[in-house]
Amino acid sequence: MSSIPVLNDEQWLNLLKYAASDFNEVTLSRGFQYFKQQFVRSLSASGDHSLQARVAGTEQYTVTFHIDKPASGRCTCPVGYNCKHIAAVMMELGDRMGYPASQLVNAKHHIKQIALASPSEELLKQLPGKDVFGWHEAMNEITAPVKPPYNQSQYIEELRYRLQHIRKASIPFSEIDSVYFDVHQELFVLRKFREQCTHGEYKYYTSFVLPRLYRDMHDLLRQKSAMSDFSLSEARLSQTLQYIRRQMAEETGFSFMEYGLYDVMWELWISHLPEIEIWVSRELDDIEKQSLLSPSLAAAKAFLYLQQSRNEDAWAVIETGGILKDIPSSFLLSFLYRISASGDWETLTNWLTKTASSFYRRRSHELEAYIRLWNEAAQHVPYAKQQMWSLLESMLPYSMSIIEDMLYEQREWKLWIEMQIQQEHDPLHHRVSVLQPIEKDAPELLLPYYHQAVNHYVSLKNRHDYKQAVKLLKRLEKVYKKMKLPERWERFFAGFTDKHSRLRALNEELKKGKLLG
């Protein structure tokens, strides 16, 4: 069978009207339960806009359905038509095509709301002449009937669904204005949902949804930046930055989510512009007019000072704004990267020292990035290396893996092996290739590491660990040969076999490993 045909907005509206007129609320509710429980086992096309589905129930039923003629749908259940199985199939179809199945459950209510929310032609014609704040006012008007429900995902879907009326309309936007408008529709949804988080009763649930919406917004900004040149409309760009600054000013607490949008916009839309210094000065002037800075605005101000190489002023903003302990380490890293790119190694060392506490107990990749910057600084500032090692020691145990990696990269074999022994690792903990450079450079350092591990496995006195001991002994023999000390190996091995001659299972494994004749 062929793939399912694409469902468009007009066909979806017809399905809503069909559900509202031909189904009762009980049947739609039961159909929704079947949909949620994934009772629609298969859904495939059987002709032009015709579908066939298998739906589980008291027994398995077959539904045939035509998208353009929904009333002709039939089911092999005793009801035969307009049943919960057909309702479940329509919901499954809508869900697969990106339409909210919940709208079918409340089809009558939704149809009424669509009629009330349809924007006037006059309002739509005015949009190209409005600034971005006028766009947001229009979107407020269009979505006014949407009331925040308990189901927050449904709230987001309702907002976006109403905004589709604008997308479908023939608005004479320029190509770049059309891109900006797409971005601002999502910024609008984000703002409305954030307001719901602030004033609503279900903050526990919103705390999960809101970060995802911001990540989606970041992805959209990256997607649009790859397709468009935002500098083609400096007025819209300036207005958009002004809009984000307003959101940053209103942000409460220390989430820095709005600053995250500002940072991404700056990186993708502005950083490559030829008159970047003018943009930086203009932005700073606007922020400095604020009498009281929110945490996000303080972060933005520090960021802009760094753009002007005013590193001391940037640090003063971070320090006096009290944001150091709360600002996400990813944003601190972006500040540190900019100092590194400027080649001001003394300042980088100073900032790395001052921000160290922000990287304690952080995710390993953030701590690793922080230490890589220390390594850069240490190549240019004589005292930076000692400071770096002192900090790494103070960050134990979180810095353990980083210290290991650095010792290994710097071929500090003695310290690296001592660290393995301290952590109760043994040579079998590593891939053979990990120990090969040590066997080449300093094989004598491996002797205590191997001997200790062999004694440990033999002391456990079971067949499996005897096999492990034999593996280590075979490697140990190669190390002695590498050192050109075969006689020391023979003396050790003779003493070893004599000491453990009564361990029959061990001797059997030694024979299997061809260490004993």
| pLDDT for residue 204 is more than 50 | no
CA distance 192 to 149: 13
CA distance 164 to 9: 9
Q: Report the DSSP beta bridge partners of residue 52.
A: 44, 64
Least confident range of 93-102, 144-153, 234-243, 244-253:
144-153
| Percent of residues, the chain, with pLDDT higher than 70 | 93
Q: HSE of 374 in the Cβ direction (CA atoms, 13 Å)?
A: 25
Q: What is the pLDDT of residues 14-51, one digit of tens each?
A: 899 999 989 999 999 999 999 999 899 888 887 677 88
CA distances to 245, 261, 403, 427, 435 from 431, rounded to whole Å, are 52, 43, 19, 8, 7
Least confident range of 102-111, 163-172, 240-249, 360-369:
163-172
425 confidence band (pLDDT: 50, 70, 90): very high
With contact defined as beta carbons under 8 Å apart, do 496 and 506 qualify?
no
121-150: average pLDDT: 84
| pLDDT for residue 207 is more than 70 | no
Report the pLDDT value the prediction gives residue 273, as an integer from 0 to 100: 86
115 confidence band (pLDDT: 50, 70, 90): low
What string of DSSP letters covers 177-222? HHHHHHHHHHHHHHHHHHHHHHHSS-HHHHHHHHHHHHHHHHHHHH
Report the pLDDT value the prediction gives residue 219, as an integer from 0 to 100: 94
With contact defined as beta carbons under 8 Å apart, do 473 and 434 qualify?
no
Residue 254: DSSP 8-state: T
Q: At what angle do helices 446-459 and 413-422 cross, to 10 degrees?
A: 20
User: Residue written as tokens 């034999």?
Assistant: 470
Report the pLDDT value the prediction gives residue 447, as an integer from 0 to 100: 94
Q: What is the pLDDT of residues 43-82, one digit of tens each?
A: 888 767 788 899 987 789 999 998 888 888 999 998 989 9
Per the model's pLDDT, the better-predicted residue between 7 and 494 turns out to be: 494
Element (H, E) at 131: none
467-488: average pLDDT: 94
95-112: average pLDDT: 85
| pLDDT for residue 470 is more than 90 | yes
Q: Report the DSSP beta bridge partners of residue 40.
A: 55
With contact defined as beta carbons under 8 Å apart, do 378 and 391 qualify?
no
Tokens matching residue 393: 């020691």
With contact defined as beta carbons under 8 Å apart, do 222 and 268 qualify?
yes
391-406: average pLDDT: 86
Q: Report the DSSP beta bridge partners of residue 62.
A: 54
CA distance 477 to 467: 16
CA distance 165 to 154: 18
What pTM value is reported for the model?
Answer: 0.65
CA distances to 16, 126, 461 from 452, rounded to whole Å, are 74, 81, 15
Q: HSE of 331 in the Cβ direction (CA atoms, 13 Å)?
A: 26
Element (H, E) at 94: helix 84-96
CA distance 478 to 167: 72
Tokens matching residue 36: 């949620």
| pLDDT for residue 203 is more than 70 | no
Least confident range of 3-17, 107-121, 163-177, 264-278:
107-121
CA dihedral 431, 432, 436, 437 (to 10 degrees): 0
Strands 61-66 and 40-47: unpaired
With contact defined as beta carbons under 8 Å apart, do 230 and 178 qualify?
no
Q: Report the DSSP beta bridge partners of residue 425.
A: none
144 confidence band (pLDDT: 50, 70, 90): confident
Q: What is the mean pLDDT of the chain?
A: 88
With contact defined as beta carbons under 8 Å apart, do 162 and 132 qualify?
no
CA distances to 5, 142, 429, 437, 489 from 444, rounded to whole Å, are 71, 77, 19, 12, 12
Report the pLDDT value the prediction gives residue 168, as an integer from 0 to 100: 57
Q: E-strand spans in 4-140?
A: 40-47, 50-55, 61-66, 74-75
Tokens matching residue 72: 């002709």
Q: What is the pLDDT of residues 430-453, one digit of tens each?
A: 998 999 999 999 999 999 999 999
What string of DSSP letters covers 134-158? HHHHHHHHHTTT----S-HHHHHHH
The count of other CB atoms within 10 Å of the CB of residue 221 is 20
Per the model's pLDDT, the better-predicted residue between 463 and 254 turns out to be: 463
Report the pLDDT value the prediction gives residue 172, as an integer from 0 to 100: 84
CA 125 to chain centre: 38
Element (H, E) at 390: helix 384-394
Q: Report the DSSP beta bridge partners of residue 47.
A: 50
CA dihedral 297, 299, 300, 301 (to 10 degrees): 90
Report the pLDDT value the prediction gives residue 117, as an integer from 0 to 100: 53
CA distance 427 to 469: 11
Strand ranges across the sheet with 61-66: 40-47, 50-55, 61-66, 74-75
CA distances to 131, 172, 200, 239, 240 from 136, rounded to whole Å, are 9, 18, 21, 12, 11
Per the model's pLDDT, the better-predicted residue between 464 and 197 turns out to be: 464
The residues, any chain, with a CB within 8 Å of residue 70's CB and separated by 6 or more, are 14, 15, 18, 90
108-118: average pLDDT: 70
The count of other CB atoms within 10 Å of the CB of residue 55 is 27
| pLDDT for residue 119 is more than 50 | yes
CA distance 207 to 211: 7
Report the pLDDT value the prediction gives residue 497, as an integer from 0 to 100: 93
Q: Is residue 369 classed as helix, strand or coil in its secondary structure?
A: helix
Q: What is the pLDDT of residues 226-281, one digit of tens each?
A: 888 888 889 999 999 999 999 999 887 778 999 999 999 998 989 888 889 999 99
The count of other CB atoms within 10 Å of the CB of residue 355 is 20
| pLDDT for residue 158 is more than 90 | no
CA distance 339 to 307: 9
Report the pLDDT value the prediction gives residue 155, as an integer from 0 to 100: 81
